[in-house]
């Protein structure tokens, strides 16, 4: 079942700065890896000082995300990251399993559910909304 088309995904990637006034610039690019797969890599920089670094492996035939890693940084400081590494022992993550995010304090071990993140739909709108919302918190982010 096709969740998103290559053309629709490329349109999403390459029009981010035009569709979000909070975005300063984007270096996201879809690289073809094989006949049916691609790698999305790059960053989205926001006027609020945040950077969203994106790495996705996508199935272009089925329109699904196969794997991902998303990092949100303020300068060199990681303030949140998302990954699908399963943690079946963490009952608190069950509602979005295996999708979750890490955030301060103790960013490596402080895991939270990640609503809106999936393998079946583009995650960029959710991630961009998160970055915009975190930017509104200003200096509170990452503390």
The whole-number average pLDDT for the span 116-141 is: 86
**Integer Cα distance of 114 and 106 in angstroms:** 17
Q: Cα separations (Å) of 111 from 5, 31, 34, 39, 86?
A: 31, 30, 33, 26, 11
Place of tokens 């009952």: 91
Mean pLDDT for the chain?
91
Strands 23-26 and 64-74: unpaired
The predicted model scores a pTM of 0.90
What confidence score (pLDDT) does residue 136 get?
80
Residue with more model confidence, 128 or 140? 128
What is the per-residue pLDDT across 45-70, written as a single tens digit (0 to 9) for each? 999 999 999 999 999 999 999 999 99
Mean pLDDT of 106-129: 95
CA 6 to the chain's CA centroid: 18
- pLDDT tens for residues 120-132? 999 999 999 999 9
């Amino acid at each position: 079942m096709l969740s998103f088309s290559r053309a629709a995904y490329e349109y999403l990637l390459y029009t981010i700065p035009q569709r979000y006034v909070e975005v300063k610039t984007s270096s996201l690019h879809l690289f073809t890896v094989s006949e049916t797969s691609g790698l999305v890599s790059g960053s989205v920089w926001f006027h609020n000082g945040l950077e969203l670094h994106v790495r996705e492996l996508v199935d272009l035939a089925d329109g699904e995300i196969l794997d991902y890693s998303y990092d949100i940084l303020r300068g060199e400081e990681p303030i949140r990251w998302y990954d699908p590494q399963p943690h079946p022992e963490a009952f608190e993550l069950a509602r979005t399993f295996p999708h979750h995010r890490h955030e301060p304090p103790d960013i490596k071990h402080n895991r939270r559910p990640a609503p809106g993140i999936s393998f079946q739909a583009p995650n960029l709108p959710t991630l961009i909304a998160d970055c915009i919302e975190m930017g509104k918190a200003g200096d509170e982010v990452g503390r």
